[in-house]
Amino acid sequence: MNSTRTVTIIGGGLAGLTLGIALRHRGVPVVLFEADRYPRHRVCGEFISGRGRQTLTTLGLDPVLFESGAREAMTTRFFTRAIKGPIRPLPEAALCISRFVLDAVLAREFRRLGGELREGERRVCHADSEGVVFATGRRPCPKAGRWRWFGIKAHARDIPLESDLEMHLVANGYVGICRLSDDRVNVCGLFRRDDEAGAASSRTAMLKGEPGSLLYQRLASAEFLTETIRTVAGLDLRPSLGGDHSECRIGDALTMIPPFTGNGMSMAFESAELACDPLAQWSCGTTDWKEARAQIANQCGYAFHRRLQWAGRIHALMFLGGLQPALMTWLPRFAAPWDFLYSRVR
């Protein structure tokens, strides 16, 4: 089958670049618009778990990612202010890699395969435009219900960890810490505040948590690397799937999953993989645009709806402060939540 129609991808984050690479493997002409330039730091825990790892393997990207500093994570540990959970092995190895490196590696690979990448170009397209895929990332939402959600990430040095991923539950959010290459760790927090809250502390003070807490002790000697600090606000963590949109969307543009799952990047990769076949068929004229778009929406809906439901429920529990100690004693006893959180679940 000869591909003739060009697929246009708007957004060169993980979903857009992975889709571009997968389509180029199939010989489909692709032009991709990215508003920003590579390399760039992103707000992200930089911890990839779940099925999306398989997508990277299928696309032959493992060797280049490991050469670029990706490392595997095998263990995790949860903390509250004063309680340490046991160290648990992850059901499957997760992958930790800086987004500064990852996005740039994928962009290079896309170009190497003959994709046309237009960096520094913000593109606006009509929702119904044929052949256009929106991989534009999160849909900004200043306020979700009572809360304003925001994320902060920084790289730091000289932090000894007790497991490959530490997840610290704090009063108004959580902070994950995972090992990267070059003795760096990623420190990334998701926080919420309501309108009555006073002025926010500095970004690194928020990441360090309350004095006296286990998180504060962990980060006491941290040297934060200023150039890596990023903030994002206006997150909408309420699930939405294909039927909710008239455009063809993948990745965070389709839906966001709570970050504690380490599954957002995975869903970006997976949605790209699910979109590849219908788009390749549209490109060579064996299916029309409406059909291709519907197939992508249905397949993503089927793949993600259960994950989104469970993640939403656990996320709500994590924010009930009084329940945090109970979660710490309950969670380690059962394999199922860990398999759900960090394995290749459907």
Ligand X SMILES: Cc1cc2nc3c(=O)[nH]c(=O)nc-3n(C[C@H](O)[C@H](O)[C@H](O)COP(=O)(O)OP(=O)(O)OC[C@H]3O[C@@H](n4cnc5c(N)ncnc54)[C@H](O)[C@@H]3O)c2cc1C
Interface residue with ligand X, options 232, 233, 284, 331 (CB under 6 A): 232
For residues 110 and 248, give the distance between their C-alpha atoms in angstroms, rounded to a whole number.
21
| Least distance from ligand X to the Cβ atom of residue 192, Å | 11
Region from 19-27, 210-218, 265-273, 289-297 binding ligand X, contact rule CB under 6 A: 265-273
Q: How many residues does the chain have?
A: 346
Q: Is 296 in the site for ligand X (CB under 6 A)?
A: no
Region from 38-46, 58-66, 78-86, 318-326 binding ligand X, contact rule CB under 6 A: 38-46
Q: Is 242 in the site for ligand X (CB under 6 A)?
A: no
Q: Is 32 in the site for ligand X (CB under 6 A)?
A: no
State the DSSP H helix or E strand holding residue 151, giving kind and residue range, or none if neither.
strand 148-157
Interface residue with ligand X, options 20, 131, 137, 242 (CB under 6 A): 137
Three-point CA angle 177, 237, 129, nearest 5°: 120
Q: Is 251 in the site for ligand X (CB under 6 A)?
A: yes
Interface residue with ligand X, options 16, 20, 115, 278 (CB under 6 A): 16
Residues 6+ apart with CB under 8 A from 41: 98, 99, 100, 153, 227, 228, 229, 230
Q: Is 115 in the site for ligand X (CB under 6 A)?
A: no
Nearer to ligand X among residue 242 and residue 259 (C-beta)? 259
CA distances from 322 to 81, 100, 170, 213 (A): 12, 37, 11, 16
Q: Is 268 in the site for ligand X (CB under 6 A)?
A: yes
Residue whose entry in the numeric block shows the structure tokens 């004063």: 82
**Interacting positions 155-194 with ligand X (CB under 6 A):** 188, 190
Nearer to ligand X among residue 188 and residue 287 (C-beta)? 188
Q: Is 151 in the site for ligand X (CB under 6 A)?
A: yes
Q: Is 122 in the site for ligand X (CB under 6 A)?
A: yes
Residues 6+ apart with CB under 8 A from 151: 43, 188, 189, 190, 191, 231, 232, 233, 235, 259
Region from 20-28, 29-37, 292-300, 321-329 binding ligand X, contact rule CB under 6 A: 29-37
Q: Is 135 in the site for ligand X (CB under 6 A)?
A: yes
Would strands 7-10 and 30-34 be described as parallel, antiparallel, or unpaired?
parallel
Q: Is 20 in the site for ligand X (CB under 6 A)?
A: no
Cα 309–chain centre separation: 17
Nearer to ligand X among residue 96 and residue 287 (C-beta)? 96
User: What are the φ/ψ torsions at residue 102 (nearest 5 degrees)?
Assistant: -60, -50
Indicate the SS3 state at residue 216. helix
| Least distance from ligand X to the Cβ atom of residue 231, Å | 9
For residues 263 and 219, give the distance between their C-alpha atoms in angstroms, rounded to a whole number.
25
Residue whose entry in the numeric block shows the structure tokens 């993503």: 300
Q: Is 264 in the site for ligand X (CB under 6 A)?
A: yes
Given 3-state DSSP classes, what are the helix, strand and coil percentages for the chain, each rounded to the nearest 5?
Answer: 40, 25, 40
Interface residue with ligand X, options 21, 30, 48, 327 (CB under 6 A): 48
For residues 209 and 202, give the distance between their C-alpha atoms in angstroms, rounded to a whole number.
11
Nearer to ligand X among residue 173 and residue 278 (C-beta)? 173
Q: Is 76 in the site for ligand X (CB under 6 A)?
A: no
Binding residues for ligand X (CB under 6 A): 10-16, 33-36, 43-48, 122-124, 135-137, 151, 188, 190, 232, 235, 251-253, 259, 262-266, 268
